[in-house]
Chain A
Amino acid sequence: MSLLELSDVQVHFPIKKGVFFDRTVGHVYAVDGVSLSVEAGQTYGLVGESGCGKTTLGRAILRLVDITNGEVVFDGTDLAKLPPEEMRRQRSRLQMVFQDPLGSLDPRQNIESTLAEGMEAHGIGADKAERRERILRILDKVGLPENSLSRYPHEFSGGQRQRIGIARALALEPDVIICDEPVSALDVSIQAQVVNLLEELQEELGLTYVVIAHDLAVVRHISDVIGVMYLGSLVEEAPSDALYAEPKHPYTRALMSAVPIPDPSVEDDRERILLQGDLPSPSSPPTGCRFHTRCPWKQDTLCDTERPVLTDLGDGHKVACHYAAEIAAGTVVRAGEAADEDDAKEGREPASVVAP
Chain B
Amino acid sequence: MALLSVDELSITFTGRGRRDIKAVSGVSFDVDQGQVVGLVGESGCGKSVTSLALMGLLPDRGVRLGGRAEFDGGDLLTMSQSRLRDLRGSQIAMIFQDPLSSLNPVVPIGVQVTEILSRHRGLKGAAARKEAAHLLDRVGIPDPTRRLKEYPHQLSGGMRQRALIAMAVACAPRLLIADEPTTALDVTIQAQILELLKELVDEEGTALLMITHDLGVVAGLCDEVNVLYAGKVVESAGRRALFEAPTHPYAHGLLGSIPRLDAPRGEPLKPIRGSINDRIDWADGCAFAPRCDSYTLECLSGAVELTEPREPAHHVRCVNPVLPAADVVGADVADADVADAADAAGADVADAADVASESPVAAAKKTEAPS
Contact = CB atoms under 8 A, between A and B. Distances in A.
Contact of B261 (A49, A50, A244, A277): A244
Interface string A323-350: 0000000000000000000000000000
Contacts of A259: 187, 216, 261
A258 B272 contact: no
A274 B195 contact: yes
B347 interface: no
B251 to A, nearest CB: 11
B239 A187 contact: no
A214 B186 CA distance: 8
Interface string B242-285: 01100000000111111111110100111111011100000000
A260 B217 contact: yes
A190 B257 CA distance: 8
A129 interface: no
Contacts of A264: 219-220, 239-240, 243
B307 interface: no
A230 B136 CA distance: 28
Interface size classification for chain A: 35 or more
A274 B263 CA distance: 23
Contact of B272 (A189, A268, A275): A189
Nearest to B267: A221
A199 interface: yes
Interface in B172-216: 186-192, 194-195, 213-216
B347 to A, nearest CB: 14
A77 interface: no
Interface string A47-86: 0011000000000000000000000000000000000000
Nearest to A158: B275
B187 A255 contact: yes
A188 B257 contact: yes
Nearest to A218: B259
Contacts, number: 141
Contacts of B257: 188-189, 191-192
Interface of B is mostly: helix
A221 B272 contact: no
A268 B263 CA distance: 17
Interface of A is mostly: helix
A195 B275 contact: no
Contacts of A187: 42-43, 213, 275-276
Given A258-B190, A262-B218, A216 B276 contact: no
Interface in B276-325: 276-277
A261 B262 contact: yes
A259 B216 CA distance: 8
Given A187-B275, A260-B194, 17 more contacts: A157-B276, A188-B215, A192-B258, A193-B273, A195-B259, A195-B271, A217-B259, A217-B261, A244-B262, A255-B187, A258-B188, A258-B191, A260-B219, A260-B220, A262-B216, A267-B216, A267-B220
- 10 A-B pairs with the lowest CB-CB distances in the bound complex, closest first: A260-B216, A192-B271, A192-B257, A221-B259, A258-B191, A49-B186, A192-B269, A189-B272, A262-B215, A267-B220
Interface of B: 42-43, 142, 156-159, 186-192, 194-195, 213-220, 239-240, 243-244, 253-263, 265, 268-273, 275-277, 350
Interface of A: 49-50, 157-160, 187-193, 195-196, 199, 203, 214, 216-218, 220-221, 240-241, 244, 254-268, 272, 274-275, 277-279
